[in-house]
Every structure is written in structure tokens, then in C-alpha cells.
């Protein structure tokens, strides 16, 4: 809170605050509602309503109508969900085949996931699937969103189909749902069902190494085949192994919203 000078005048705010205020009102840049509309948050009128409701922040500060933004610099969020507005950002959904390594380069000469998508702009995988696991994988050059998706505390759900050895008993399913003791600690409760004998549908929000395989091992049913079928709200049953496509604007928005919601849901109690 500002204090008064001895002569009664209110001191000027720090220079960085003056600069930020001046920059927010510069004529350059795009109007915030236009940027939001272009990234799938609705019509300009809907985006104006989001801003008026105080749900949009720019660089951590609640935005006001009329705010202009620089896509190269400003960090924009809606309800805590990042809005990827920087030019050149790409978001690929890949159906990773078995035998392909989730890395940019492999010292053993094995095929990698980045070799299955365009070479430019350079992208990196979000999280990991081990070499024998198949299914959906995101690749992007949006480092902020990638960090939020893969960070354990944000808890974006991932769904898997696991073909396991033997039929899992009700007790085994209950173990998965309650949490399984692994060598690195107890897992969080999973959403687990058995649509067919020996086939498990497992949804987790943690990101431990080979977690689903280790959970199944712990209940006595080793995995024979593992396929990731969903990442947050993103799924695609028509995407063939080895194929990829770009996420739609609506999918990017839904993914950002899921990241923000998961961060709130699984945040440690304060």
C-alpha cells in the first residue's frame, strides 16, 4: 500500500510498475479478446465476457477489456489454463507403435518418435511411453504446456488398455482402485475395470516410470500388451499406429482446461 510523503504527496509507484502499466496501454499488439477468439475460446463477444468476468490473466495480472498483448512475450491464462498464442507453436498427436523409442535420439539406433513427425519446427515428446508400449503421445514445441501436462502435481489423466496374464479377480481390481504399494511408494487410486477377461482399462493421473506395468505386476498379472488410449480429453480411435495429426484448436483449448482443472483437483492440501 502506498504511503504519503511528509508534504502529503503520494509517491510514484516503482518504475517497473509504471512500465508495465504503460505497456498494457500501448497501441501495438493484438486486442486480448481477438487473441482468445483465434485460439478457440469462443467468439469475440464470449471472450470479452471472459475478460470482464476476471477470468483472464496476462503475466499473472487480471486483464481488463481493451488490453493489448504481445504473443511473443505475454503469458495468457484463462481460469489458470495457459493459452498458447506464440507464433510457430505446433501440437501433434501420434499413435506410437511398439518398438519406437520416446526420445529425440537413440544411441542404439532404434527408431524414435520424432522421426515419425515433421522435422521442422523441432518438437519433443510430452512425457514418455516405454519402447514396448503403444498408443497416444503428444509432441510439441510449447514448453509451458508440456511441463504442465507431464508434471506429477498437475495430474492430467492418462487411460490405458492393458492385456494381462490371467483373469483379474475382484480383489485385484480393488487393489488398483485403492492404490498399489510399489518400490517408490504407494500409488494414487486408479480408475480400473475389466471389460473382458484379462483386459484392464486403467486410468491414472501420476507419471511414474512404467507405472501401469509395475501396478499389474504387483497384483500378480504381468502386462502382455499395453496401449495408451487417452490423454486428458484427447483420444482418437481412427489414428493408425505410426500416424500423426495436429490437434484442433478445440482440442488444444480442452487440453489446457484439463491441465488447469487437474492442477486444482490434485493439488496438495494447504
- Cα–Cα distance measured from residue 36 to residue 47, given in angstroms and rounded to the nearest whole number: 6
Assigned CATH topology for domain 91-265: Pseudouridine synthase (3.30.2350)
Which three cell numbers mark 196?
473382458
Start-to-end CA span in the chain (Å): 27
DSSP 8-state code for residue 21? H
Domain map of the chain by residue range?
A: 15-83, 91-265
pLDDT tens digit sequence for 114-126: 999 999 999 999 9
Assigned CATH topology for domain 15-83: 3.10.290
- Supply the pLDDT for residue 3: 47
Instruction: Write down the residue that cell numbers 500416424 correspond to.
Output: 243
- Cα–Cα distance measured from residue 21 to residue 157, given in angstroms and rounded to the nearest whole number: 39
Round the average pLDDT of the chain to a whole number and report it. Answer: 85
Residue 203: enclosing H or E segment and its boundaries?
A: strand 199-204
Active site residues per annotation: 130
pLDDT tens digit sequence for 45-92: 888 988 999 988 888 899 888 889 887 778 888 887 777 666 688 999
Burial class from Cβ neighbours inside 10 Å (0-12, 13-18, 19+) for residue 38 reads middle
pTM: 0.75
Amino acid at each position: 500500500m502506498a504511503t504519503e510523503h511528509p508534504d502529503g504527496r503520494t509517491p510514484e509507484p516503482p518504475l517497473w510498475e509504471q512500465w508495465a502499466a504503460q505497456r498494457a496501454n500501448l497501441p501495438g499488439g493484438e486486442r486480448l479478446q481477438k487473441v482468445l477468439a483465434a485460439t478457440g475460446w469462443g467468439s469475440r463477444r464470449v471472450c470479452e465476457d471472459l475478460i470482464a468476468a476476471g477470468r483472464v490473466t496476462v503475466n499473472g495480472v487480471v486483464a481488463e477489456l481493451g488490453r493489448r498483448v504481445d504473443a511473443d512475450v505475454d503469458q495468457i491464462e484463462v481460469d489458470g489454463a495457459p493459452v498458447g498464442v506464440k507464433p510457430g507453436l505446433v501440437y501433434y498427436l501420434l499413435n506410437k507403435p511398439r518398438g519406437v523409442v520416446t526420445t529425440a535420439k537413440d544411441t542404439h539406433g532404434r527408431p524414435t518418435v520424432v522421426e515419425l513427425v515433421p522435422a521442422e519446427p523441432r518438437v519433443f515428446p510430452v512425457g514418455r511411453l516405454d519402447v514396448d508400449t503403444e498408443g497416444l503421445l503428444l509432441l510439441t514445441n510449447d514448453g509451458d504446456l508440456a511441463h504442465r501436462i507431464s508434471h506429477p502435481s498437475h495430474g492430467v489423466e492418462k487411460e490405458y488398455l492393458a492385456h494381462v496374464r490371467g483373469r483379474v479377480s475382484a480383489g485385484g481390481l480393488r487393489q488398483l482402485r485403492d492404490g498399489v504399494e510399489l518400490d517408490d511408494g504407494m500409488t494414487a487410486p486408479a480408475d480400473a475395470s475389466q471389460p473382458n477377461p484379462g483386459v484392464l482399462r486403467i486410468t491414472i493421473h501420476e507419471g511414474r516410470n512404467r507405472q501401469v506395468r509395475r501396478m499389474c505386476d504387483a497384483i500378480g498379472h504381468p502386462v502382455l500388451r499395453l496401449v495408451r488410449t487417452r490423454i486428458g480429453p484427447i483420444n482418437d480411435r481412427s489414428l493408425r499406429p505410426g500416424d500423426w495429426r495436429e490437434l484442433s484448436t478445440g482440442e488444444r483449448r480442452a487440453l489446457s482446461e484439463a491441465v488447469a482443472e487437474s492442477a486444482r483437483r490434485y493439488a496438495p492440501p494447504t
